Amino acid sequence: MVIVSHLTWIQIDHGWRAGPYEIELVAPQLWVCTRRKRTAQVTVECTSGSLSAIKTSIERLDKRRSSLRSALVYLAAFLISMIVVVLGVEARGSVAPMLVVGFSILGVWAALKAVDCVIRRSWESLNLNYQ
């Protein structure tokens, strides 16, 4: 399975950097990847004996994190659209049927996208385990 990453690795003086991640060679054949959070806190994400392996691992981890964020956004869109649908059903007026139909379609789309994010995450772990 090929991982298409949105991380662009740039070589710096003491290693590599992409987004909040920084990879350094701390000992012979020991690469350490750290992640700088918004609070200026630095955490160790993973270690590896190979630069390419640690880059692949970080790209996989970053893809899972962004997939989870996307799933949460789609879930929020689904919940908001369902609230509008419920309020639209109770409302009286000429715009209410259009709101119900429009937000029902939006809700179904958001629910499908959220499920798709979850399914892709589960298939990704299966692909990694059985390759």
Q: What is the mean pLDDT of residues 66-83?
A: 91
Confidence (pTM): 0.62
pLDDT for 17: 93
Contacts 24+ apart (CB under 8 A), 36-39: none
The chain-wide mean pLDDT, for the chain, equals: 85
Higher per-residue confidence, 93 vs 82:
82
Q: What is the mean pLDDT of residues 77-84?
A: 94
